[in-house]
């Protein structure tokens, strides 16, 4: 099992990434990314899954069986650092996306079983927060957090400046019967500015039965089935990633790796 999915040339539908529960060896999270040309259409069926369509960059019109959202989108690059437009699509629905401009679209999926309607998630609906300090600072856009309605999906995007770390101090959410954690599978869709950049991401467990370090390049996807999963940026290259999480309980609850938790304390940054 590989944890790194390299970007592919667009297929006939414009798809450049596809992670399924089967390909990832897990149960819940699916992720696809598309690069559509202006005027191109994409048809999707949610089936037994709910979807969150995130306009990473570009403009679109989105139509489901019972709802339509025309000419949505604002940012033409994720590095404008303004919250995105997104559309929630329930299970057993059909959706058509029409690219009003060149469009980079993420399709996040997880099991759906409720009766929620399709809805627009506008930039003003997205929670914005700054996290961390010192060289561990990042900007977070909470697109579909656990306090907003969905069946399984959690979706968030994160910006990390060159030379900083994020998803750090190392934390994990892989225990199903724990008072401290929820079990959540997770994908990272990476983007870089300038585009030739890369970041280092490590995925590892306490017992090191899983311990992988990989260089993620532009539009690569890292899958996190379990364990800690910090990201370290490289000088000269700002990093954006879109996270998709899902599990049996729709709650983001995690525990820190004890060795590095001090980075959250007043002892960091150090003065010496």
Instruction: pLDDT band for 270, please (50, 70, 90 cuts).
Output: confident
Q: Which two tokens stand for residue 40?
A: 């191109």
| pLDDT higher than threshold 90 for residue 255 | yes
Question: Are 29 and 245 contacting, i.e. CB atoms less than 8 angstroms apart?
Answer: yes
Residue 115 pLDDT: 86
Rounded to whole angstroms, the Cα distance separating 133 from 162 reads: 14
Residue 83 pLDDT: 98
Q: What is the mean pLDDT of residues 130-138?
A: 96
| pLDDT higher than threshold 80 for residue 63 | yes
Residue 1 pLDDT: 61
Instruction: pLDDT band for 125, please (50, 70, 90 cuts).
Output: very high
| pLDDT higher than threshold 80 for residue 272 | no
Dihedral sign computed on CA atoms, order 121, 124, 127, 129: positive
What is the percent of the chain with per-residue pLDDT over 70, rounded to a whole number? 99
Q: How far is CA 83 from CA 21, 63, 70, 148, 221, in A?
A: 28, 21, 18, 16, 21
- The mean of the pLDDT values for the chain is 97
| pLDDT higher than threshold 70 for residue 5 | yes
What is the percent of the chain with per-residue pLDDT over 90, rounded to a whole number? 96
pLDDT in tens, 80-122: 999 999 999 999 999 999 999 999 999 999 999 988 999 999 9
Q: What is the mean pLDDT of residues 138-158?
A: 98
Using a cut of 0.95, tell me whether the model's pTM lies above it: yes
Rounded to whole angstroms, the Cα distance separating 236 from 218 reads: 14
Q: What is the mean pLDDT of residues 186-210?
A: 98
Domains of the chain are 14-263 (2.60.120.10)
Residue 95 pLDDT: 98
Residue 161 pLDDT: 98
| pLDDT higher than threshold 90 for residue 57 | yes
Residue 114 pLDDT: 84
Instruction: pLDDT band for 177, please (50, 70, 90 cuts).
Output: confident
Question: Are 200 and 164 contacting, i.e. CB atoms less than 8 angstroms apart?
Answer: no
3-state secondary structure the chain: CCCEECCCCCCCCCEEEEECHHHHCCCCCEEEEEEECCCCEEEEECCCEEEEEEEEECCEEEEECCCEEEEECCCCCHHHCCCCCEEEECCCCEEEEEECCCEEEEEEEEECCCCCCCEEECHHHCEEEEECCCCCCEEEEEEECCCCCCCCCEEEEEEECCCCEECCCCEECCCCCCCCCCCCEEEEEEEEECCCCEEEEEEECCCCCCEEEEEEECCCEEEECCCECCEEECCCCEEEEEEEEECCCCCCCCEECHHHHHHHCCCCCCCC
| pLDDT higher than threshold 90 for residue 251 | yes
pLDDT in tens, 205-232: 999 999 999 999 999 999 999 999 999 9
List 262's β-bridge partners, or say none: none
Rounded to whole angstroms, the Cα distance separating 168 from 202 reads: 11
């Amino acid at each position: 099992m590989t944890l790194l999915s390299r970007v592919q040339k667009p297929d006939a539908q414009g798809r450049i990434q596809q992670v399924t529960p089967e390909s990832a060896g897990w149960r819940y999270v699916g992720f696809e990314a598309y690069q559509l040309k202006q005027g191109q259409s994409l048809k999707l069926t949610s089936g037994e899954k709910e979807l969150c369509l995130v306009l990473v960059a570009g403009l679109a019109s989105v139509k489901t069986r019972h709802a339509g959202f025309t000419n949505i989108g604002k940012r033409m690059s994720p590095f404008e650092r303004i919250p995105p437009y997104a559309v929630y699509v329930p299970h057993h629905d059909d959706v058509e996306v029409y690219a009003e401009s060149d469009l980079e679209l993420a399709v996040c999926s997880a099991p759906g079983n409720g009766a929620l309607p399709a809805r627009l998630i506008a930039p003003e609906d997205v929670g914005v927060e700054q996290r961390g300090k010192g060289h561990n600072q990042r900007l977070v856009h909470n697109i579909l957090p656990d306090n907003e309605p969905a069946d399984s999906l959690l979706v968030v995007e994160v910006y990390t400046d060159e030379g900083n770390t994020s998803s750090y101090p190392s934390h994990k959410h892989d225990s199903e019967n724990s008072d401290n954690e929820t079990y959540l599978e997770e994908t990272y869709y990476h983007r870089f500015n300038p585009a030739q950049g890369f970041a280092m991401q490590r995925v590892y467990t306490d017992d090191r039965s899983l311990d992988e370090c990989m260089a993620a390049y532009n539009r690569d996807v890292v899958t996190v089935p379990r364990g800690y999963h910090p990201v370290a940026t490289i000088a000269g290259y700002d990093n954006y990633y879109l996270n998709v999480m899902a599990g049996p309980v729709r709650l983001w609850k995690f525990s820190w790796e004890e060795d590095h938790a001090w980075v959250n304390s007043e002892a960091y940054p150090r003065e010496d």
